[in-house]
Structure 1
Amino acid sequence: MRESDIHIDRVDWLVVAIYFALVIFGWFNIYAAVYDSQAPQSMFDMSINSGQQLVRIGISVVLIVLIMVADYRFFENLSLFIYIFFIALLVVTPFIGKEVNGQVLTVGVGSFRIQPGEFAKLATALALAKVMERPTFDLTKTKNQLIAFGVLLLPVALILLQPDTGTAMVYFSLLVMFYREGLPQRYYILGFGFIALTLLSLGIENNLYLVAAIAIIILILILMGKKTWQRIVVFSLIGLGMIAYSYSIDFVVSKLPDHQQNRVMVLFNPNLDPLGVGWNVTQSKIAIGSGGLLGKGYLEGTQTKFDFVPEQHTDFIFCTLGEEFGWIGSLIVIGLFVTLLVRLVIMAERQKTRFSRIYGYGVISILLFHFMINIAMTIGLFPVVGIPLPFFSYGGSSLWSFTILLFIFVKMDSSRAMQLGRLG
């Protein structure tokens, strides 16, 4: 048997089944999001989103077949070339791409266009796996940390130039993979500390309250031990740094475009201008809440039918699910995602090569981030940053990139016996 043959008996069919379940369920919800009871159209109609998405699903199936018949070493050998190609594409996107709503995100010819930032995620995951696969690559060493973060941050910087903050944020999800591969915990403690301080800075309208809270904490810490003067110096410097950081956050937010400032404000004050900047999130929560336990029924969602929620077939697809299928339907979809992620962790841990394991955790990181943030957006727990729900939301670039991302790993997993022989 040739190495490029599909090993049917070694394919993780549970992952494949969950993928198709999510894609098909997503397709039905895309149709529901654009369905007009006054002028109903077939879900196969190419003039509406569901028909167009069906074509993209068909292309995804072709991509899956091509991936599964390829030699498993193809992606490993070309990983750096794939990364360089998409980095180059990100560089030229602002110059040759199409501008929509002040962002230049897509490139292509005619009506066929792709979003390089979506595909660059899988390219970055492949490149990091290639760079970090050496047994001597230790993430506790500063040199290796700089290399890994350099590979990670280059596409982030280029995507921010488009500007596309939401897509750029996704790349930081790969820090989950870094943790698995041994990046010291102090970086995560420091990172979560900055996140907490950032949220406090944004959530407290008057920074003087934050200053007072920090001062009280410092005073308590000083009184708890000896060497008072040393504690005063150390904790005062820490406090001054925190206060300076807090004010710098306010300054940075003030320089953001108005629509991004509004999204941040709505996160901390959901009732702010519910007919204006808070409209999307408010209507999304109404749609999900109105579904109740069992939902209103397929194609019966009133929030959906009257277009109360903008972008309901893309970023806010989850609220269509919540309204028409209720808590039970939402729980089923969430359960599918959780099962998929748990299964991918099992697959990653059973890999025979470090490259496959690292790439596997890259896949897990990206899917987990998209899953959590998209749902958090629709229920008002995270600012609206334009992140699609994997396999579910409308769009070619997102569906194809997620499909390729996932099935490269499925292919690697099905070939792990060959990898063991190769190592031996």
Structure 2
Amino acid sequence: MKESDIHINRVDWIAVSIYFALVIIGWFNIYATVYDSQLDQSIFDLSINSGKQLVRIGVALGLIMVIMVADYRFFENLSLVIYIIFLLILIVTPVLGKEVNGQILSIGFGEFRIQPGEFAKFATALALAKVMERPTFDLSKKQYQLIAFSVLLIPVVLILLQPDTGTAMVYFSLLVMFYREGLPQWYYILGLGMIAITLLGLGIENNLYLVGAIVLITAALIFLGRKSWQRALVFSMIAIGLIAYIYSIDFVVSKLPPHQQNRIMVLFNPDLDPLGVGWNVTQSKIAIGSGGLLGKGYLEGTQTKFDFVPEQHTDFIFCTLGEEFGWIGSLVVIGLFSGLLYRLVIMAERQKTRFSRIYGYGVISILLFHFMINIAMTIGLFPVVGIPLPFFSYGGSSLWSFTVLLFIFIKFDSSRATQLGRIS
């Protein structure tokens, strides 16, 4: 490998620096969740989560080195092969995987286990970039929409079979990338409308109120356009469809596992079961609120120290930050995530090939979704669905998959001059 092939001078060090800042801050917060002043364990102690995470950070550094010295064309040329490999792994996961809380999410040997659903994210982003890179690929046309949605939905279906609703939801974040590449706006208007109707259907205790409102609005629209029977028919069909959808929501929710039903109920009624299903979110909000402006100080968080928040080192790691570093500390971390996303947008827009740009927006979509949903979970604005905070939450699969996702794009960006020579 020639030194010129590595493109060290063209690496976006701003994005790299933000990555390491988030990883290091996350590591210190993981230590805070397990710290016990009586035991006086070091942050480097391999018997506790912070020490284990340090080993995983070391593995992440190894992955970064491999990605950065590899030829960028390796990931481009084998993108569909990588995608198919992870689809096959997802297929065998329910058979060979380890069951935890009714879900089969990980496979591996002994202590070394990975969650294929996490790694399949970057594989799906690569596959979409490959199938959409052709100049003739036009997302405004139905046949190309079918191809793109098929690539997106296959891993979603396989992950739902585990079942892992939270991870499956992440894949729909790639619709942000679809928007950049020309998917018609009416898809998003329809999607937002369906989300609004779903929230209303779940939030309003008696569906008759919502159905009555739809009937009244439809009657008014028909009356205003009474000279057109075609318009009246369209309005009536839409109203019937909406009413059928509203009553189907309860049916779909009833088919979810009990713990997911409870999480949805708690979202709309936080006081429903504060000592049961609402405990996590309630304690998380207490932890964040008690931090105030400047926080209680590192390793001084009482909610953290006395383990009031379950899963605080993984899905609820943000509440540790809020309690010990307060509003200012939370703002710094949110600023780092926002800065990274902004930087990635700049990087995506300066790519010389459509493949790199599409993959770049895939990275942005996935990181944005995780960032927003995880924080929304900790403050009670979204149901608890097991979405980790990128580079921050405890866990090997989470850290490694996000690292691979990000640094493949950083590699593409550092090689853009070579790509320009290739396509010129």
TM-score (norm 1): 0.98
Q: Give the secondary-structure state (helix, strand or coil) at the position aligned to 1:107.
A: strand
Residue of structure 2 equivalent to 1:407? 407
Residue of structure 2 equivalent to 1:262? 262
CA contact (8 A) 1:215 1:239 kept: yes
Residue of structure 2 equivalent to 1:7? 7
Q: Does the alignment pair 1:160 with 2:164?
A: no
Deviations 1:103-137 (A, max 9, x none): 00101111111000000000000000000001111
CA contact (8 A) 2:225 2:232 kept: no
Give the distance between the partners of 1:238 and 1:7, measured in 2 at CA: 56
| Amino acid across the alignment from 2:157 | A
Aligned ranges 1:204-219 → 2 under 5 Å: 204-219=204-219
CA contact (8 A) 1:4 1:72 kept: no
Give the distance between the partners of 2:125 and 2:228, measured in 1 at CA: 48
| Amino acid across the alignment from 2:118 | E
Structure 1: tracts of 5 or more residues without a match: none
Give the distance between the partners of 1:415 and 1:259, measured in 2 at CA: 46
Give the distance between the partners of 1:227 and 1:164, measured in 2 at CA: 50
| Amino acid across the alignment from 1:27 | W
Q: Does the alignment pair 1:312 with 2:312?
A: yes
Q: Give the secondary-structure state (helix, strand or coil) at the position aligned to 1:5.
A: helix
Residue of structure 2 equivalent to 1:139? 139
Q: Give the secondary-structure state (helix, strand or coil) at the position aligned to 1:371.
A: helix
Give the distance between the partners of 2:203 and 2:238, measured in 1 at CA: 21
Residue of structure 2 equivalent to 1:203? 203
Residue of structure 1 equivalent to 2:62? 62
| Amino acid across the alignment from 1:411 | K
Give the distance between the partners of 1:397 and 1:59, measured in 2 at CA: 11
Give the distance between the partners of 1:222 and 1:236, measured in 2 at CA: 8
Displacement of 1:254 after TM fit?
Answer: 1.2
Residue of structure 1 equivalent to 2:341? 341
Residue of structure 2 equivalent to 1:248? 248
Displacement of 1:224 after TM fit?
Answer: 2.9
Aligned ranges 1:40-119 → 2 under 5 Å: 40-119=40-119
Displacement of 1:3 after TM fit?
Answer: 7.9
Deviations 1:373-393 (A, max 9, x none): 000000000000000000000
Give the distance between the partners of 1:412 and 1:242, measured in 2 at CA: 45
Give the distance between the partners of 2:383 and 2:134, measured in 1 at CA: 39
CA contact (8 A) 1:4 1:70 kept: no
Q: Does the alignment pair 1:191 with 2:191?
A: yes
| Amino acid across the alignment from 1:290 | S
Residue of structure 1 equivalent to 2:359? 359
Deviations 1:141-184 (A, max 9, x none): 11111111111000000000000000000000000000101111
| Amino acid across the alignment from 2:121 | K
Deviations 1:70-126 (A, max 9, x none): 111110011011001000000000000011111001011111110000000000000
CA contact (8 A) 1:3 1:71 kept: no
Displacement of 1:230 after TM fit?
Answer: 3.8
Residue of structure 1 equivalent to 2:369? 369
- Which stretch of structure 1 is more off in the superposition, 140-149 or 313-322? 140-149
Displacement of 1:272 after TM fit?
Answer: 1.0
Displacement of 1:231 after TM fit?
Answer: 3.8
Q: Give the secondary-structure state (helix, strand or coil) at the position aligned to 1:296.
A: coil
Residue of structure 2 equivalent to 1:322? 322
Aligned ranges 1:374-413 → 2 under 5 Å: 374-413=374-413
Give the distance between the partners of 1:146 and 1:63, measured in 2 at CA: 34
CA contact (8 A) 2:295 2:324 kept: yes
Give the distance between the partners of 1:4 and 1:246, measured in 2 at CA: 59
| Amino acid across the alignment from 2:350 | R
Deviations 1:332-366 (A, max 9, x none): 00000000000000000000000000000000000
Give the distance between the partners of 2:85 and 2:371, measured in 1 at CA: 27
| Amino acid across the alignment from 2:36 | D
Displacement of 1:270 after TM fit?
Answer: 1.1
Structure 2: tracts of 5 or more residues without a match: none
CA contact (8 A) 1:128 1:151 kept: yes
Give the distance between the partners of 1:273 and 1:50, measured in 2 at CA: 32
CA contact (8 A) 2:86 2:123 kept: yes
Give the distance between the partners of 2:256 and 2:412, measured in 1 at CA: 42
Displacement of 1:291 after TM fit?
Answer: 0.2
Q: Give the secondary-structure state (helix, strand or coil) at the position aligned to 2:311.
A: coil
Give the distance between the partners of 2:217 and 2:102, measured in 1 at CA: 44
CA contact (8 A) 1:4 1:71 kept: no
CA contact (8 A) 1:4 1:69 kept: no
Q: Give the secondary-structure state (helix, strand or coil) at the position aligned to 1:235.
A: helix
Residue of structure 2 equivalent to 1:277? 277
Give the distance between the partners of 2:231 and 2:59, measured in 1 at CA: 63
Displacement of 1:228 after TM fit?
Answer: 5.4
Displacement of 1:14 after TM fit?
Answer: 0.3
Residue of structure 1 equivalent to 2:178? 178
Q: 1:75 to 1:4 in 2, by over 3 A?
A: farther
| Amino acid across the alignment from 1:315 | D
- Give the count of matched residue pairs: 424
Q: Give the secondary-structure state (helix, strand or coil) at the position aligned to 1:99.
A: strand
Residue of structure 2 equivalent to 1:416? 416
Give the distance between the partners of 1:196 and 1:3, measured in 2 at CA: 53
Give the distance between the partners of 1:162 and 1:420, measured in 2 at CA: 42
Residue of structure 1 equivalent to 2:37? 37
Q: What is the aligned-residue identity percentage?
A: 83
Q: Give the secondary-structure state (helix, strand or coil) at the position aligned to 1:113.
A: strand
Give the distance between the partners of 1:328 and 1:282, measured in 2 at CA: 21
CA contact (8 A) 2:226 2:232 kept: no
Give the distance between the partners of 1:236 and 1:181, measured in 2 at CA: 34
Displacement of 1:226 after TM fit?
Answer: 4.3
Give the distance between the partners of 2:423 and 2:257, measured in 1 at CA: 52
Q: Give the secondary-structure state (helix, strand or coil) at the position aligned to 2:6.
A: coil
CA contact (8 A) 1:64 1:407 kept: yes
Displacement of 1:43 after TM fit?
Answer: 0.7
